[in-house]
Amino acid sequence: MNQRQMLSTKEASELSGLSPDSITRLLRQGRIEGRKVGRTWDIDSQSFYVSLIASWQPHEIAEQTAHLLDYVTTHYCRSERYNHAEMLTKHLLAVYENIFGEGHPHTFPILAALAKMYCHPSRLDESAAISQRLLALQENALGPDHPALVSTLAQLAEISWEDGAFDDAEQYLLRALRLAEQLPEQEQPAMAELLRNLADIYIIQDRFAQAEAPLKRAVAIDERVLGPDHPKTLTILRNLAHLYVYLSDVAQAGPLYTQLLTKPDMSYPDGLHDLIVLYLQEGEKTQADAFVQQVLLRYELEEGEEGLVHILYEFARLYEDENYDSEAEKFYQRALPLSNCVNRSYLNTALILHRLARLYVRQGRHAEAVPLYHRALSLREQAPELESPSLSILRNDLLKLYAQQENDALPERLMHHMLAAREQKLGSHHPDLIPMLN
């Protein structure tokens, strides 16, 4: 730890709660080390930590340590100054180990902060090593069944998850859950988070039925402690609803999604699309339609015309894929006039026209499809990316339609584009171009 990490006077003030004048006095008294930079100072972090700890009462150490770590992680990590945060935290650990001794409980939060800081793909081994060291120290100091081990076990589970070691992650979570039973009521949301993570382990391994129990218990905990409308409660409730969709259990999923649709920021919860598909596939169209109408009402009130256009298009595609063409047509028709009001409206309108034209062709309604294709083509050709794949698909669809209607003359501009595309592919003198030129 020979490399010095410097703090500005402002950072030292925010870190400690001391005024800049008080910090300057400490510098001039030689109680902390630093160097003059213009009109201000750069302060050596280690000497500053030593001075701070000396000023604390014994009962203040845990709270003050938490404040220091919170400042470092929020101020530096969130601004992506990770190297600075790492060095400050390592210096803090060195000071604590020098003052209190290695393995002292006062060092535990600092080790935990370092492990969390390293918990990303390139440094998982370091994070795991620190977490394993911390777990051993905690077991030695507090015993193997102390609830203080819960967060360390959860960190090891996260590391194992990131490393793809799902069996290890499951075992860490199960042990953490056993210890978390001792947590007081106000800390029970930590148990709910463990339960959700355990459910995620089961889901990623396609063990869907096993995920139900932990998710249901997590919902019950958060509803009781945080309240039914708390964001964390709603997140776990949504996960449970989505799980029932995975299990094709519409009887359980339906009421949960009905509940979610009454909550703020839940205008189209994850998994509801799949539930609507399930209803349609099982012939329960009335239930599917009811959810669609709820979502459309929310979008109309909350998302504006652009959001409404996108959700109408999504529902049109959904019903079309399930062969409910009449309903799909209604959604496309409703979206068309609204699409003129949104950003890059000509592209949105062209997309809807193209899909509706394809629907008509599949139904044999060729005469209705042709003008839609022409409108879509005219709009798409306004786009700067003129020869995009979607434009080529649109032209090809229209050419196929004309080929099926032998009495209709091919429009000149379509023939021109088709000839240009064939020339680009085959070369301008290829014999296959002769019939087209004639």
What does the pLDDT look like over 213-230, one tens digit per residue? 999 999 999 999 999 999
pLDDT, average across residues 387-410: 70
Is the pLDDT at 267 greater than 90? The verdict is no
If one compares 393 and 58, the residue with the highest pLDDT of the two is: 58
> Is the Cβ–Cβ distance between 134 and 152 less than 8 Å?
yes
Domains and CATH numbers, the chain: 183-282 (1.25.40.10), 303-406 (1.25.40.10), 408-438 (no CATH)
High-pLDDT (> 70) share of the chain, %: 88
- Predicted structure pTM score: 0.80
In 3D space, the residue among 135, 139, 141 whose CA is nearest the CA of residue 156 turns out to be 135
**Cβ 190 vs Cβ 149: under 8 Å:** no
Of the listed ranges 26-40, 274-288, 393-407, 413-427, the one predicted with least confidence? 413-427
Q: Which pLDDT belongs to residue 437?
A: 39
pLDDT at 115: 96
